[in-house]
A and B are shown apart, each in its own frame.
Chain A
């Protein structure tokens, strides 16, 4: 119900088409790269998913994160413009449930984006590599992992845009965070847990214990950010 309401709100903002276009753009990366330099990648050792994600995931993840950050800014900009937020607050709805609605909407759209990207990886694998039975399980595992690591990033960027009334400030903070993520040394485990840096991780080729660490860390981040959201709303209400 609440998600439908959120859908209605974003109807004319171009939010949904932006996610589709973003997904297609990110999906175009592996296809373009493979059609230009297929020999180089065909010669590499490893499964097709591992090779393709190794070559393209940095770019694709970057586009995904930028999409999430921009989308989050927009979702709250429509609330703060013309004081719609005050009207929402006067309704018998919890502010946190508005936030939850936006999170669910972004999560659904990110799933769509990841599905488009998975489609592109499947296409490239069928076209340029030999596809075996295990391919689809591997693909699903990889994109499931990518999806899980994206969740903290979604919640944090929505939290930032909720906190800042002006769109450029939330966008600016988001961009600085994305930039910080690209600057952090990825080999340090603690740094790579930064919600904007984690989505750059790839499952294929990472050792299983480390994968478990990332999954646990992402779950902990989700709980932490959820609590942070509730506390933030309490504090803001107290001072408002």
Chain B
């Protein structure tokens, strides 16, 4: 079975999972307060950030600190539980399919869920920006290229985090621990981004990236900037190690 047909099978499995509704609800809830409190954006001039940039960044800050990582944890639960229900995984393992491919295809599905959420987020941003532009008589809509760049950066920086969550859900069989560790690890990321070793903590990457973007747009020299040198190698190592461990552990408990 080729990787792509396996991927198709995995997407079919989550077709009726209603995960997209949960993601949509989260993005709608995220942007509603921004629409109601849009006038606050005009009071941020002292920071040196323009209202339209502030509107964009505040929304994405809200998403990347808790909602986005937590949705990824929910995504890992979805992928592992759909298989464990009625021992679906046993049937998959009985097929002549390599477990590594199976594991990686599930990881790609998880990445697509992340991409879908960011895409929804951007869509909702444009809708709410259009609404606010109408109500405030001020153009809140930023060029699509800028939005694409920022959201692309969030997505890329989230890959190590997603790999880590995926490893947790594959290796830890008791769901309460994999979910618990995943959710609990999100909470300290606010503290970690203020330390020098933020690059060792993958859960803080998306939040760190967007915070440093905020610093750039606000011309605020105090905000830490992304330093590619320790970060990229560390992030790559985390992705490779997490994926390798999850590929090795995948289906191990069932094959015993």
Contact = CB atoms under 8 A, between A and B. Distances in A.
Interface of A: 13-15, 18, 21-22, 25, 59, 62-63, 66-67, 70-71, 73-74, 77, 81, 166-169, 171-173, 175-176, 178-180, 182-185
A43 to B, nearest CB: 20
Given A167-B77, A179-B26, A182-B66, 16 more contacts: A22-B180, A59-B188, A70-B180, A70-B183, A167-B175, A168-B17, A168-B19, A168-B22, A169-B17, A175-B26, A175-B70, A175-B183, A176-B22, A176-B29, A183-B29, A183-B62
Interface in B61-115: 62, 66-67, 70-71, 73-75, 77-78, 81, 85
B85 A81 contact: yes
A176 B33 CA distance: 14
B22 A183 contact: no
A176 B22 CA distance: 8
A77 B174 CA distance: 12
B184 A183 contact: no
Q: Mostly helix, strand, loop or mixed at chain A's interface?
A: helix
Interface residues of B, number: 32
B74 A22 contact: no
A175 B74 contact: yes
A182 B61 CA distance: 13
A209 to B, nearest CB: 27
B218 to A, nearest CB: 22
Contacts of A180: 29
16 contacts: A13-B175, A18-B180, A63-B184, A77-B81, A167-B77, A168-B17, A168-B22, A168-B75, A169-B18, A172-B19, A175-B74, A175-B183, A176-B22, A176-B67, A179-B67, A180-B29
Contacts of A62: 187
B201 to A, nearest CB: 14
Nearest to A25: B184
B88 to A, nearest CB: 13
Q: Mostly helix, strand, loop or mixed at chain B's interface?
A: helix
B177 A18 contact: yes
Given A18-B176, A70-B180, A183 B30 contact: yes
B22 A172 contact: yes
Nearest to B87: A82
Contacts of B74: 168, 171-172, 175
B145 interface: no
A168 B81 contact: yes
A216 B62 CA distance: 31
Contacts of B62: 183
Contacts of B190: 59
B179 A70 contact: yes
B175 A74 contact: yes
B229 interface: no
Nearest to A77: B175
A14 B174 contact: yes
A166 B17 CA distance: 9
A14 B176 contact: yes
B25 interface: yes
Contact of B81 (A66, A67, A166): A166
6 smallest beta-carbon distances between A and B, as pairs: A172-B22, A168-B78, A14-B174, A175-B70, A168-B77, A172-B74
A110 to B, nearest CB: 15
Contacts of A183: 29-30, 33, 62
A161 to B, nearest CB: 12
A25 B185 CA distance: 10
Nearest to B76: A168
Given A59-B187, A166-B81, A179-B67, A171 B180 contact: no
B203 to A, nearest CB: 14
A178 B81 CA distance: 22
Contacts of B22: 168-169, 172-173, 176
Contacts of A21: 180
B198 to A, nearest CB: 15
A185 B33 contact: yes
B103 to A, nearest CB: 19
A214 to B, nearest CB: 22
B234 to A, nearest CB: 23
A150 to B, nearest CB: 17
A73 B179 contact: yes
A171 B80 CA distance: 13
Interface in B153-189: 174-177, 179-180, 183-184, 187-188
B183 A66 contact: yes
B183 to A, nearest CB: 5
